A and B are shown apart, each in its own frame.
Chain A
Amino acid sequence: MAKIQIDGTFYEVKSEKNLLDNCLALGFDIPYFCFHPAMGSIGACRLCAVKKFANADDKRGRIVMSCMEPVVEGMIISTDDPDVKAFRESILEGLMANHPHDCPVCDEGGECHLQDMTVMTGHNYRRYTFKKRTHNNQYLGPYIKHEMNRCIQCYRCVRFYRNYAGGKDLNVFGSGNRVYFGRQQDGALESEFSGNLVEVCPTGVFTDKIFNKHYARKWDLAHTPSVCQQCSLGCNIIVSERYGMIRRVMNRYNGSVNGYFICDRGRFGHEFINSPDRIKKVHLRASKASELLEVDESCTLSDFMGKKVIGIGSPGASLESNFALLNLVGKENFSHGISEAEHKLTNQSIRLLQSRKVYSPSLKEIEKSDAILVLGEDIAKTAPMMALAVRQAARSESIKLGEKLGIPEWNDYAVRELDQNHQGPDFIVTPSATKIHELVEMAGQAFAKAENPLIITGISGGNEDILDACSTIADALKKQGKKLSVSIVFPECNSVGLALLDGLTLEETEERIDGRQKAEEKIDTVIILENDLYKRASKERIDAMLKKCRQVIVIDHLMNETARQADVLLPAAAFAESAGTVVNNEGRAQRFYSAVPLTGQLKPGWSWCNDQWENLDQVVNALVDAYPVFSAIKNQMPDADFRCSNEKIARQTMRSSGRTAMNANISVSEPKPPQDNDSPLAFSMEGYKGSPPSGLIPYYWSSGWNSVQATNKYLDEPDGHVRNGGDPGVRLFDDIDKE
């Protein structure tokens, strides 16, 4: 910590961070482009100038770049000196000289960092009357659109893509006024993090092509905090809606999980919600031989319930949906719908994580590990954001080396020059590898030296022996007084949550349905909840199982193979249309909320599976009563009655437009805004607009900061933790630890 004087006031600041970072944490509006809290600074844009004074008598001072300035005890700076302001304005004028006049057709417009900075520096009139430099654009694949004319040469894209995320195919070309950011030739970007270029780029060079297909301005979108359901990491996302349709997914900052970035699967994988294959209506089959037909009448699940019912849940469905089904059919008739092997391994993994032996680290803690052993899991495929965290952890040695030489971590380019691509001790071991013993031995040595050793493994490639080995290593390390971190990648977004409920395996379910029992125990109805069984076992096995049931009820959102076999097909709301809780691989329970008001016959899974509970809170109450392991969810997540200043939190921005015209083609009388009984968020522009509790932040905006850079205004410090309640989510395994 150091005490410095900014604009005549003294502040306590962190000496390991640079001046800009500290000023932003204190809430000063210093314009910047090239600095990124997660990537450090390189001093490329020259915009974050401040004036530094040698001592109290120095009245003239000198202009320095705050992002390249270490904090020194007693330093005196001014952020709003007239010289500094003029300097920033002239820098921006230079950057704008070649910037095209196309904001109206630019997808970044309205959430553009360059627009914000232009306004902030006060550059209003264009004096440069000569011709503008232009560039040809490249085809960068189906996700990212390239418009190089808009570039302001901040280097953020290549720094993220190459240095931070380890991509190889995006680079900087040319020199002087011709600097070009792109690929060597046209082609799809290869990195699984390419989507982050949209958020990293301060202007509209890289824009979201998927979003462009149904574009809406940021101010018009209704934003909802949600949780990505594409893998077991549970990255936080913002789902945005306009005219009742999901438009895009953006990153939602969670200092313990995904930070500033999400992978492409999370960002672009939401489009299935708008798919023509969506089940939007109840489908019925008159007899086994007839077609599955759409029905217009509304109905409930109880219309079709048989005498002996078995319910198959899903690790891809929310905790509440699974519990509602469990409650409907009874514990002994509830199946997890996963194979015996997966079931066993999952349970064993959770027992390991729940035990006090090992620590279950968050992604942010993985970044801080100094020795990592990856056992039998291809994390780049099954949990890409964990691979990104491991990549950061691999730099731990060079950062330590830099510190030794007096180069702070934020001085990114210098640290990278120093390490010359040297990577820290992390080892990737697959059980099929031949030299496994040798590698493990090496890893053992590294672990002995490390302070935060970490083992990463997973269900998909793992086996019981690995888990046993983890346990043994943990015991060994314990003797040295160290705690082993173990991070296990699970196959689906709620695998952990489901495993905490009772249930049968798929094999046991088949046996129950098989009909070898007594006649009165014969199963006549099976309810399958958001689970495509054909992906979990061979076609013959599932066909045989479903054929034996008198009636197959499927509750799902996409017309998949299982849905086609249904006798009764009920339309389920997808994750962006319903609220619920999922538990990620770390044991962190996180709540997602519906981004679209439900229409027609769509209902969330938990709503189909029960008649007694009217909203999510009632399901959660019953869940906690039945399974006390989840009590932290009830205690720590705001329920639907939660209010900020007596108001619900508005999903729409205060600039939201078209309220009196968007439904006017149907009826000129404006309807009442749809009600949301499951969350403290409102489908309206009316409501609380300040800084809501961390898990309920619908979008990032602050006066003068319309771009995603406004994220920092919601954090205790850039790259820190979310203000007003800490990082969202409740760690369930910690609670057990405390007991």
Chain B
Amino acid sequence: MLSLIRSIFYTFLHAFHKRETQDYPEKMPYLPPRYRGRIILSRDPDGKERCVACNLCAAVCPVDCISLQAAEGDDGRRYPEFFRINFSRCIYCGLCEEACPTYAIQLIPDFEMADYNRQNMVYEKEHLLISGQGKYHGFNFYKEAGVNMGVKATGGGENENQPVDLKSLIH
């Protein structure tokens, strides 16, 4: 019985404590740089789209809110023909960023995406693509990958030998 009264008393004392409430719109909260907010698509150091349309982000997305179609340029370079994120479904889990093999898709500290019309929350590639490299600088997938897609010649990568000359007898 006494313990009950003590609880009531302690609760009453809380009336004089400091408020925990964040006064959000009046006072902006601090967001760390790796905060997982709005999703963007970044570009490689050459200024070209980093996304190679591998579909891994779409596959890993737990709410299936990413949809894209792969296409190939004349030089063989892959890019997404369209890239659509339905932010009204997105749960900002960041799995797409973890799955991305080219650092193309990144989550940035911006969460103010609410809208009165859900249709406005469907973002196409032109809304997602930024002009910079985002969080990861200097990475160019096609320099690392073993394929020639217009960025480096076959065998021209840092970790590659020159192509084998089959017509030669010398190894």
| A residues lining the B interface (CB < 8 Å) | 99-106, 109-110, 131-137, 147, 149-150, 173-174, 176-178, 180, 212-217, 219-220, 243, 655-662, 664-665, 667-669
CB pair A174 B86 closer than 8 Å: no
A-B contact pairs, 18 of them (CB 8 A): A103-B54, A103-B101, A104-B52, A104-B145, A134-B163, A149-B147, A174-B166, A176-B171, A657-B61, A657-B66, A657-B67, A658-B66, A660-B63, A661-B85, A661-B86, A665-B84, A665-B124, A668-B88
With CB as the reference atom, state the residue of chain A lying closest to B118.
Answer: A668
Q: How far is the CA of A595 from the CA of B14 in the complex (A)?
A: 65
Given A134-B162, A149-B154, A243-B69, do A660 and B64 touch, yes or no (CB 8 Å)? Answer: yes
**Interface bits B114-129 vs A (CB < 8 Å: 1, else 0):** 0000110110100000
Q: Does B141 contact A (CB under 8 A)?
A: yes
Closest Cβ of chain A to B122, distance in Å, is: 4
Give every chain A residue within 8 A of B155 (Cβ-Cβ): 134
Which residue from B54, B64, B171 sits with its C-beta under 8 Å from A658? B64
Given A134-B164, A135-B154, do A661 and B102 touch, yes or no (CB 8 Å)? Answer: no
Give every chain A residue within 8 A of B101 (Cβ-Cβ): 103-104
CB pair A131 B58 closer than 8 Å: no
Give every chain A residue within 8 A of B141 (Cβ-Cβ): 104
CB pair A661 B164 closer than 8 Å: no
Which residue from B54, B67, B162 sits with its C-beta under 8 Å from A661? B67
Q: Does B55 contact A (CB under 8 A)?
A: yes
B contact residues, range:
35 or more
Given A180-B164, A660-B64, A668-B88, do A220 and B145 touch, yes or no (CB 8 Å)? Answer: no
The 9 closest A-B pairs by CB, nearest first: A100-B146, A658-B67, A104-B54, A661-B67, A657-B58, A134-B155, A102-B145, A659-B64, A661-B86
Given A109-B54, A660-B65, A665-B122, do A101 and B59 touch, yes or no (CB 8 Å)? Answer: no
Give every chain A residue within 8 A of B67 (Cβ-Cβ): 657-658, 661-662, 664
Give every chain B residue within 8 A of A220 (Cβ-Cβ): 55, 58-59
Contacts A110-B59, A214-B69 known; 17 new A-B pairs at CB < 8 A: A101-B144, A105-B147, A106-B147, A109-B54, A110-B55, A132-B157, A132-B160, A134-B160, A135-B154, A150-B146, A212-B72, A216-B55, A220-B55, A658-B68, A664-B67, A664-B86, A668-B119
Q: How far is the CA of A131 from the CA of B146 in the complex (A)?
A: 11
With CB as the reference atom, state the residue of chain B lying closest to A173.
Answer: B166
Q: How far is the CA of A102 from the CA of B64 in the complex (A)?
A: 24
Q: Which of B87-112 contact A (CB under 8 A)?
A: 88-89, 101-102
Give every chain B residue within 8 A of A131 (Cβ-Cβ): 159-161
CB pair A105 B160 closer than 8 Å: no
Give every chain A residue within 8 A of B70 (Cβ-Cβ): 215-216
Report which residue of A99, A105, A212, A667 has the largest number of chain B beta carbons within 10 angstroms of its beta carbon.
Answer: A105
Give every chain B residue within 8 A of A104 (Cβ-Cβ): 52, 54, 56, 101-102, 141, 145
| B residues lining the A interface (CB < 8 Å) | 52, 54-56, 58-59, 61, 63-70, 72, 78, 82, 84-86, 88-89, 101-102, 118-119, 121-122, 124, 141, 144-149, 154-155, 157, 159-164, 166, 171
Which residue from A136, A656, A662 sits with its C-beta under 8 Å from B163? A136
Given A135-B163, A668-B121, do A105 and B64 touch, yes or no (CB 8 Å)? Answer: no
With CB as the reference atom, state the residue of chain B lying closest to A147.
Answer: B147
CB pair B145 A105 closer than 8 Å: yes
Give every chain A residue within 8 A of B166 (Cβ-Cβ): 173-174, 178, 180
CB pair B64 A217 closer than 8 Å: no
Closest Cβ of chain A to B87, distance in Å, is: 9
Q: How far is the CA of A214 from the CA of B147 in the complex (A)?
A: 20
CB pair B164 A100 closer than 8 Å: no
CB pair A660 B86 closer than 8 Å: yes
Closest Cβ of chain B to A134, distance in Å, is: 4
CB pair B144 A133 closer than 8 Å: no
CB pair A149 B146 closer than 8 Å: yes
Q: How far is the CA of A176 from the CA of B88 in the complex (A)?
A: 56
Give every chain B residue within 8 A of A658 (Cβ-Cβ): 58, 61, 64-68
Given A105-B78, A658-B64, do A664 and B122 touch, yes or no (CB 8 Å)? Answer: yes
CB pair B164 A133 closer than 8 Å: yes
With CB as the reference atom, state the residue of chain B lying closest to A182.
Answer: B166
Q: How far is the CA of A659 from the CA of B166 in the complex (A)?
A: 48
Q: How far is the CA of A132 from the CA of B146 in the complex (A)?
A: 9
With CB as the reference atom, state the residue of chain B lying closest to A669.
Answer: B118
Give every chain A residue within 8 A of B85 (Cβ-Cβ): 661
CB pair B145 A668 closer than 8 Å: no
With CB as the reference atom, state the residue of chain B lying closest to A217.
Answer: B55
CB pair A133 B154 closer than 8 Å: no
With CB as the reference atom, state the residue of chain B lying closest to A242.
Answer: B69
Closest Cβ of chain B to A653, distance in Å, is: 10
Closest Cβ of chain A to B51, distance in Å, is: 10
With CB as the reference atom, state the residue of chain B lying closest to A663.
Answer: B67
CB pair A105 B66 closer than 8 Å: no
Given A216-B69, A660-B64, A660-B65, do A134 and B146 touch, yes or no (CB 8 Å)? Answer: yes
CB pair A667 B63 closer than 8 Å: no
CB pair B161 A132 closer than 8 Å: yes
With CB as the reference atom, state the residue of chain A lying closest to B124.
Answer: A665
Q: How far is the CA of A135 from the CA of B84 in the complex (A)?
A: 36
Report which residue of A109, A110, A216, A659 has the largest number of chain B beta carbons within 10 angstroms of its beta carbon.
Answer: A659
Which residue from A106, A661, A667 sits with its C-beta under 8 Å from B89? A661
Q: How far is the CA of A149 from the CA of B159 in the complex (A)?
A: 13
Closest Cβ of chain B to A124, distance in Å, is: 16
Closest Cβ of chain A to B166, distance in Å, is: 5
Closest Cβ of chain B to A105, distance in Å, is: 5
Give every chain B residue within 8 A of A177 (Cβ-Cβ): 171
With CB as the reference atom, state the residue of chain B lying closest to A134.
Answer: B155
With CB as the reference atom, state the residue of chain B lying closest to A184.
Answer: B166
Report which residue of A104, A659, A661 has the largest number of chain B beta carbons within 10 angstroms of its beta carbon.
Answer: A661
Report which residue of A133, A173, A664 has the largest number of chain B beta carbons within 10 angstroms of its beta carbon.
Answer: A664
Give every chain B residue within 8 A of A106 (Cβ-Cβ): 147
With CB as the reference atom, state the residue of chain B lying closest to A129.
Answer: B159
Q: How far is the CA of A147 from the CA of B145 in the complex (A)?
A: 12
Give every chain A residue within 8 A of B149 (Cβ-Cβ): 105
Closest Cβ of chain A to B152, distance in Å, is: 11
Give every chain A residue within 8 A of B56 (Cβ-Cβ): 104
CB pair B161 A134 closer than 8 Å: yes
Q: How far is the CA of A177 from the CA of B166 in the complex (A)?
A: 11
With CB as the reference atom, state the residue of chain B lying closest to A204.
Answer: B147
Closest Cβ of chain B to A387, distance in Å, is: 32
Q: How far is the CA of A656 from the CA of B58 in the complex (A)?
A: 9
CB pair A136 B154 closer than 8 Å: yes
Closest Cβ of chain B to A601, distance in Å, is: 25
With CB as the reference atom, state the residue of chain A lying closest to B76.
Answer: A105
Q: How far is the CA of A131 from the CA of B67 in the complex (A)?
A: 36
Give every chain A residue within 8 A of B89 (Cβ-Cβ): 660-661
With CB as the reference atom, state the residue of chain A lying closest to B120.
Answer: A668
Report which residue of A102, A106, A178 has the largest number of chain B beta carbons within 10 angstroms of its beta carbon.
Answer: A102
Q: How far is the CA of A337 from the CA of B144 in the complex (A)?
A: 59
Closest Cβ of chain A to B96, distance in Å, is: 11
Closest Cβ of chain B to A734, distance in Å, is: 45
With CB as the reference atom, state the residue of chain B lying closest to A659.
Answer: B64
